[in-house]
Amino acid sequence: MSMPTDPVANLAALIRCPSVTPAEGGALTTLEAMVRPLGFSVERPMFSDDGTPDVENLYARLSGNGPHLMFAGHTDVVPVGDEAAWTHPPFGAEIADGFLFGRGAVDMKGGIACFVAAVARHIETTGRPAGSISLLITGDEEGPAINGTTRLLDWAAAKGETWDAALVGEPTNPDALGDMIKIGRRGSVSGTVTVHGRQGHVAYPHLADNPVRGIVMLAEALMNPAFDEGSDDFQPTNLEVTTIDVGNAAGNVIPARATLTFNVRFNDRWTVETIQAEIHNRLDKAAARLRLRPGRKEPVAYDIHWGVRPSHVFLTRDDRLIGTLTSSVEAVTGRRPGLSTSGGTSDARFIKDFCPVVEFGLVGQTMHMVDERVALADLETLTAIYQRFLADWFSGN
């Protein structure tokens, strides 16, 4: 039986599976066929929850005596967008000019393809590792993230699984392989603010209360002043208003309400609770100062609704895990990667509650874009990095 040692062939097979979230699209079946010849046992639990799509996941385990390393990732991908704008079919896995094109090439079927190839090469050259390797792969990372990694972790832990360390194969490098290892992430909180007014004719503003005045001022209070200047390990906390809406199609009507949606990415100077308290404080102070029309005595009336599942800030402090990966990257590429907590959230935010976790994968410049693609040379380099990391981590070097 052939071994999946070629990352290009592995990735091409995965890309040809149209696994647009939350559809499995054949991707987990393809991955299962790759890892079973390596000796992995495979389970594919399906999780459901009210109001969210059912999601199929994969948990594969190569058992041995020694420490347990988890590799985590996702086979679901974002929609292709305007398919006519692609120069190569998004699920065709075509190769041109030294690149493999396709949705998920870097985010993150490419990372999975390279890790499987690295394990296969390790087994061919060294034999089974001195420990256990598990693949924790979801189809829900690009979706609501409810029936995916978080449920899969709980399911595996309930079966008695424990892990000593985890590597997430998300595309972490901004420009070239070897640039960056992610060792943590800022926290994330979202919310929606609604200002209540009174609908009326624009020619008679004294008979109405225009909530647009209030929502604009509340938006300004949320964004300014700056929350902080950052910390030793994290970028400054930042809040962005992502939409303001009044649902008004008439140009001569003062609307009855206005809403804004925001997201704040916060560093380790804050917790979910303290950042929410600060946002409440800013809104209350601004609302107390504002009036929707001349002569009005009452402050602006607003509601705030917090998004579900806020993400907590975290920082991994595991010298063996970080040091081994850093030295592996440097040995293969000649570049010493920076240790970063930048960027958005990932499923590492769930894994951190079970074991130390870091992230390292391909260059992410084309992720989610038309003509997403990966250099063939990068697939070979990342496979070599993962193979070196496996050898050194399991040997304790």
Residue ranges of the annotated binding site for Zn(2+) are 74, 107, 142, 170, 368
The one catalytic residue among 24, 76, 140, 372: 76
**φ, ψ (nearest 5 deg) of residue 298:** -75, 145
> Euclidean distance between the first and final Cα of the chain, in Å?
32
Count the helix, strand and coil residues of the chain and give each as a percent rounded to the nearest 5: 30, 25, 45
Active site residue 359: no
* Binding-site annotation: residue ranges: 74, 107, 142, 170, 368
Active-site residue among 6, 24, 141, 209? 141
DSSP letter, residue 141 = T
The closest alpha carbon to 104, from 93, 120, 118, 116, belongs to: 93
* CA–CA separation, 237 and 264 (whole Å): 7
Close Cβ partners of 305 (under 8 Å, ≥ 6 residues apart): 191, 192, 194
- Using CA atoms, how far apart are residues 146 and 138, in angstroms rounded to an integer? 10
Cis peptide before 22 (omega within 30 of 0): yes
| 189/265 Cα distance (integer angstroms) | 7
Q: Is 141 a catalytic residue?
A: yes
Q: What is the CA radius of gyration of the chain?
A: 24
Torsion sign (Cα): 185, 187, 190, 195: negative
Element (H, E) at 116: helix 109-126
Classify each residue of 357-381 as buried b or exposed e, where b means 16 or more C-beta atoms within 10 Å of its C-beta: bbbbbbbbebbeeeebbbbbebbbb
* Residues that are catalytic: 76, 141
